[in-house]
Chains A and B, each alone.
Chain A
């Protein structure tokens, strides 16, 4: 078998560093699996574990600290046939914690080798997510204040189907790495090692003390039965294959004539939950059935079923540039919240402007003509008032005609929703 190691770029780890041992062990595992270089990508990030990709004749992707699992996910989704091996340190688990949790939950077929040496080696021995509180390190007393993370327990509770905790000196480590790579799903190996450049300068850690510490913890030897489930990529492809093809946007032929000539501006003043935006869209579609250009600019708060909802609509035979409305020809006052938000516009309304006032809404003074409608008494639910107001407009033959509205309903709604919309229109005596 040919070694995967790059003879021109031998490892540059400190003498006695467990990383070097793992480098050779990983090479052995690749060889034993009968792989060739282009079937593997090593994804790494920052720190001494981030040097791994340079020593191997494989594809390599070396990125930002803690983010290796994110690049690996993109690579694996794009190339399901690739063996994706991620090397990260204990530092990367801290900064990339969210990605570790998500990778465990996702169960994409990646192998994460955590080269856990209990500190940030490259930057000067600061404490990491796994540093014991009693260690003497470059972070002064700070590591005494934090509790170290048990990566394996976290991975297991986050749903990783394969979790193994072991020493970097384990005799059959190559075999174990092979087993993790061969596992069809997200596999995590937390491999404990020695950092002679930093950690063991002031802290005692040997192969023996590592074994002793591991012996005190509940063993994790690979497959986590309760987390076993379909691999994400396969599952994704299976589900994607049965998704309905997206429809092309409807092309709306000009068939009708609009009731008024020239540019018309309409503003719907309502509140969230009244389906203001849908009504605005219907008005635009109705405009398209008359060959008009149209824009719909919306305003609402971040709250979902609370707060004002406003839709500004322009229908025009000319190209529409500015999408704002200062002098609407029609104001539909559907709810006090919307009216209050745009209270200022009423005093500027022209004499020939029209306000559709739904009963119960109080209007500021204006010169415009007011058309009152009681929708509640006609048994129309508040959530349908915006739609009903379009029927009111059509009945008045203002902005849209009845046939324009009917065509718009047909284009926008299907089946039950179409029937429900028709019923509301009928109640207003339009159809």
Chain B
């Protein structure tokens, strides 16, 4: 077997290029900076554009402009940068601008600890922009996921015309690992669907049964309007409550109704297990070690590693949890995603193990949590 050695951040950059990304803008921030460095190494020489904004707001602003001109765009930051992105994230949600946003999470709150990992932004990514409409959040576990989930992220951003987050972590992004680049299971590249040209173009028009409007680029021959304000299908401000309701519902349904088609996960289901571990991100690595150990010792557990965090893959979670009595949710924060599990499975016993001190949750801690019923 022949491997390359890559850190997670570089794998994200290379995955982005493989997905057709041709525009990147970012602002330096540990632990996401090496994504910017990698893009600067990869993009300009390949005919793409890589820019450093004067701040995070400018960086995502550049991306939104370029995306509306038809480019496949990505930006990368950490928690403090996501805070600054917020106004433009809701713009991308409400005005359906494809963009991939990488959050290499570090220990918060606020400026927190630049060089320590955490998964403290998981709910922030979902709920941290005005309007509260759904977003897509994918969470890689290792360097392979960094590459492949980034490709999926681009495909989803293109298909649904929305922001897609990669919720990475310092402990994935800045960790080097062996990777077999030729052996990855890569998706076909998807690009946004053009609007039909046989009728007058309306930038936000959807036909019956269609949840995502067709796209035309700013700069092409047909005039395109993009607008951050509440708009009608023509892209002009509207005050019509029925029109507004239709549009808000569509923005919600286009993702919630489709999540079963992009529920990335790994499920290790033991028929005779009473306990199900649910986790995501770097913590899944400790959980896998525990799963293997428990199986070896004849105390089987089930393990569900979620890689699509938002929208919540409710069908999958219910399905995997069907036969177990107890669920232990493990996450590198003080208790965020566990709220979703409790919401979906009110009839189950749900225990929580969390930690937010810059250290990884260890297999021993997880084993103890399983044993301490």
Whole-angstrom CA separation of A294 from B220 in the bound complex: 49
Whole-angstrom CA separation of A285 from B177 in the bound complex: 10
Across the interface, which residues of A come within 8 angstroms of B237, CB to CB?
Answer: 54
- Least Cβ–Cβ distance between B98 and chain A, in angstroms: 13
Residue in B2, B55, B58 whose beta carbon sits within 8 Å of that of A254 in the complex: B2
Across the interface, which residues of B come within 8 angstroms of A254, CB to CB?
Answer: 1-2
Residue in A57, A82, A253, A293 whose beta carbon sits within 8 Å of that of B223 in the complex: A57
Interface string of A346-367 (1 = CB under 8 A from B): 0000000000000000000000
Q: Is the interface of B mostly helix, strand, loop or mixed?
A: mixed
Across the interface, which residues of B come within 8 angstroms of A243, CB to CB?
Answer: 44-45
Q: Is the interface of A mostly helix, strand, loop or mixed?
A: mixed
Contact status B227-A79, CB under 8 Å: no
Given A63-B228, A75-B218, A294 and B58 contact (CB-CB distance below 8 Å): no
Q: B88: CB under 8 A from chain A?
A: yes
Whole-angstrom CA separation of A238 from B2 in the bound complex: 38
Given A60-B235, A70-B65, A102 and B58 contact (CB-CB distance below 8 Å): yes
Q: Which residue of B lies closest to A233 (CB)?
A: B49
Q: How many residues from A make CB contacts under 8 Å with B? A: 69
A-B contact count (CB 8 A): 221
Residue in B53, B65, B171, B364 whose beta carbon sits within 8 Å of that of A61 in the complex: B65
- Least Cβ–Cβ distance between B248 and chain A, in angstroms: 19
Contact status A75-B58, CB under 8 Å: no
Q: B63: CB under 8 A from chain A?
A: yes
Whole-angstrom CA separation of A299 from B174 in the bound complex: 10
Contact status A249-B181, CB under 8 Å: yes
Interface string of A30-64 (1 = CB under 8 A from B): 00000001100101000000000110011111111
Contact status B49-A236, CB under 8 Å: yes
Given A246-B45, A323-B285, A98 and B54 contact (CB-CB distance below 8 Å): yes
Given A60-B224, A295-B176, A252 and B3 contact (CB-CB distance below 8 Å): yes
Residue in B2, B44, B225 whose beta carbon sits within 8 Å of that of A253 in the complex: B2
Q: A11: CB under 8 A from chain B?
A: no
Q: Which residue of B lies closest to A102 (CB)?
A: B54
Q: How many residues from B make CB contacts under 8 Å with A? A: 77
Contact status A298-B174, CB under 8 Å: yes
Contact status A250-B4, CB under 8 Å: yes
Contact status B88-A67, CB under 8 Å: yes
Contact status B91-A63, CB under 8 Å: yes
Across the interface, which residues of B come within 8 angstroms of A102, CB to CB?
Answer: 53-54, 58
Residue in B42, B181, B219 whose beta carbon sits within 8 Å of that of A81 in the complex: B219
Contact status B236-A74, CB under 8 Å: no
Contact status A326-B65, CB under 8 Å: no
Contact status B227-A99, CB under 8 Å: no
Give 30 pairs: A residue, B residue, CB < 8 Å, sorted on A. A41-B219, A57-B223, A58-B223, A59-B225, A60-B223, A60-B224, A60-B226, A60-B227, A64-B87, A67-B61, A71-B61, A72-B65, A74-B67, A77-B65, A78-B65, A79-B69, A101-B54, A102-B54, A243-B44, A245-B46, A249-B181, A251-B2, A288-B5, A295-B177, A301-B115, A320-B177, A321-B286, A321-B292, A323-B175, A323-B282
6 A-B pairs closest in CB distance:
A74-B65, A70-B61, A78-B69, A240-B44, A79-B219, A102-B54
Interface residues of chain A, those whose CB is within 8 Å of chain B, are: 9, 37-38, 41, 43, 53-54, 57-64, 67, 69-79, 81-82, 98-99, 101-102, 236, 239-240, 243-246, 249-254, 280-281, 284-285, 288, 291-302, 320-324, 326
